[in-house]
Structure 1
Amino acid sequence: MDKGLRITIHTDAPVALPNLMRMVGISVERKSRSGQVIGADEKTTPYEALKGITDWSAYQHFEEDTKGTLEKGKLADLVILDKNPLKVPEEEIKNIIVLETYKEGKQVYKR
């Protein structure tokens, strides 16, 4: 990122469950399941991690004209979360729950 690269965050689904908030939390904390910090100098901020699953990910897939940010003319794919990942302690990010999911502006999931 120091060189202007856009990182993306993803899961190994279907090998691992597709829980992107867990991936965001892991990217911010850089902790193993045993609690050991791995690559402390590779931590992201919560904001950078969110960009890694939204607009930077859309850019990686050449979809930035239609996805990744909420702008007029884009598809309006979004989620509503139970907490704000920018305002909770970093160790709580991985436990944030998706309450609703919208695909092209239409609700496709509600908890």
Structure 2
Amino acid sequence: MGRIRLVERVGAETPALLEARPVMIHAQTVRDDQLDRMAPVGMIASIFSVHTWFWGDVHLRNFGPERGHRISPARSALDRGVRVTLHQDSPVTPPDLILTIWAAVNRSSHTGQQIGPAHRISTWEALRAVTVEAAYQYGEEHSKGLIREGMRADLVILSDDPLNTASKDLRDLEVLTTIKVDEIVYSA
């Protein structure tokens, strides 16, 4: 039985179980018709966005242009009301959220090939995906994900404002300071 069909069935039989926030991990080849079914049951698409950078050319070759350009379709998911998070799969890829954000915003391969530019998301949407939406995915939205009084101070200070950085330059941002539970744990 497909994952979405299973979540639909469980949700119909026991709606309270959907409060567990089902997640489709990787969501690499999810189709629009599947995204349309994910939204009503609150299924989150956790997108492995750096696939476009590391293996975009391979996906185009293996899947063909139509499916290859749809790898990690974050834009389609957001446009259909599906919550999106971005993740890495270390040690398969380096644990680098800045590269993850850059990949979701730019959708470029190692060779410079544009991989489904229609599926790009904005820098703001990518930042939300790794903060607000990630906290929501784990049921921690009341203590993490936002900079607000009463929230945990888990955050980074970057070398520049990502919202005022050209999308192509996002991967050049550097983490200057990392704060975890109100304590500096890293400083450049």
Please say whether Structure 1 and Structure 2 have the same fold, judged by a TM-score greater than 0.5. Answer: yes
Matches within 5 A, 1:3-18: 3-18=80-95
Where do 5+ consecutive residues of structure 2 fail to align?
Answer: 1-77
Q: Which letter does structure 1 place at the counterpart of 2:168?
A: E
Q: Aligned residue for 2:99?
A: 22
1:61-97 CA distances to partner (integer Å, 9 max, x unpaired)?
1110111001122111000000111111111001110
Where do 5+ consecutive residues of structure 1 fail to align?
Answer: none
Distance 1:70 1:89 in 2: 24
Q: Following TM superposition, by how much is the alpha carbon of 1:15 offset from its aligned partner in structure 2, in angstroms?
A: 2.2
Q: Aligned residue for 1:54?
A: 131
1:33-80 CA distances to partner (integer Å, 9 max, x unpaired)?
111111111100000000011001111111101110011221110000
Matches within 5 A, 1:1-111: 1-111=78-188
Distance 1:70 1:87 in 2: 19
Runs (4 or more) in structure 1 with deviation over 6 Å come to: none
Give the secondary structure class of the aligned counterpart of 2:86. coil
Q: Indicate the structure whose relative CO is greater, using CA pairs within 8 Å and at least 6 residues apart.
A: 1
Q: Following TM superposition, by how much is the alpha carbon of 1:10 offset from its aligned partner in structure 2, in angstroms?
A: 1.1
Q: Which letter does structure 2 place at the counterpart of 1:93?
A: L
More helix by share: 2
Q: Which letter does structure 2 place at the counterpart of 1:22?
A: L
Give the secondary structure class of the aligned counterpart of 1:25. helix
Corresponding pairs, count: 111
Give the secondary structure class of the aligned counterpart of 1:32. coil
Distance 1:66 1:14 in 2: 28
TM superposition score normalised by structure 2: 0.57
